[in-house]
Amino acid sequence: MAVLRFVAAWLAALVVLLLRLSCRARFHADPRPALQSARKPYAYAILHGHQLAAVLAAEPGTGAMVSRSVDGDLLVPSLLVSRVVVVRGSSRDRGRDKGGKEALDKLIRHVQNGRPAYRAVDGPRGPRGTVSRGIARLALETGAAVVTAVPVARRRYVFARAWDRFQVPKPFTRVDFYFGAPIEAAPGEDLETLRLRIERALAALEAEHDPIEAALGQEAAAKRREKLAREAAAKEAGAPTAAPPARLDSTRG
């Protein structure tokens, strides 16, 4: 099984490399040149379902936090061929420490050393669009600006039954990257207030530039909340839970 995962991961990396070579990226309202000129550190806030599209335009040396899971194992080679610095770990899952704090500390040091970082802010379990506290903590501790970004592929596959509606751009398509205004912590702003500002800005950005997917994402988030509630109830009752298989949709952005 481990060998099969290894082979699958590197095959996926080959696909990502081919996508990088064949897809065209176009950036809209890109704040990065101004941030770089001002020597202002920054970190991207992206949705979990947008990870692959975001990687296609990754800056070399960008840090990314990847969960210690089978999905994370499959993603790592794709990040490596894109010259992304991988930091393994994720938030606690069912009471088990999965290295999230240590990984976030490493990502904070990465940004403090002057390099950008990606955060899939609603991972690893969702619900979709619900921003975790990690990106706000990173911004507060480093003084980094948070750059919200929504990639929209003209032609893409969408895993419609996955909790994050994971998206895969089709080969030879164009991917438009829409950026929001950089978000900086206000003096004395607390972590939760900053987290909410990031969550609302990212939701508004997707609603503006990918409204149909944003609406479907809200439905997926509601279903995810129901599923997590059932899992919590089943855990208390000692009953197992099962997830439906993912369905793959082909859509145009």
The string of pLDDT tens digits covering residues 144-199 is 999 999 999 999 999 999 999 999 999 999 999 999 999 999 999 999 999 999 99
For the cut 70, the answer to whether the pLDDT of residue 248 exceeds it is no
Nearest to 84 by CA among 120, 53, 36, 118: 118
Q: Which of 217, 92, 236, 199 is nearest to 159 (CA)?
A: 217
Q: Is the pTM of this model over 0.85?
A: yes
Q: Which helix (H) or strand (E) covers residue 252, if one does?
A: strand 248-252
Distance between CA atoms of 155 and 151, rounded to whole angstroms?
Answer: 12
- Model confidence over 90-113: pLDDT tens digits? 765 555 556 788 899 999 999 999
Q: How far apart are CA 152 and CA 130, in angstroms?
A: 19
User: What is the C-alpha to C-alpha distance for residues 144 and 112, in angstroms, rounded to an integer?
Assistant: 8
More confident residue, 70 or 32: 32
Residue closest to 196 by CA, chosen among 185, 206, 187 = 185
CA dihedral 150, 215, 169, 29 (to 10 degrees): -20
Average pLDDT over the chain, rounded to whole?
Answer: 89
Residue 242 pLDDT: 55
Which pLDDT value is given to residue 250? 61
Residue 246 clears pLDDT 70, i.e. is over it: no
pLDDT at 159: 95
**CA distances (Å), origin 97, targets 69, 90, 102, 103, 205:** 12, 8, 10, 11, 32
Q: Residue 251: which pLDDT band, with cuts at 50, 70 and 90?
A: low
With bands split at pLDDT 50, 70 and 90, how would you rate the model's confidence at 56? confident
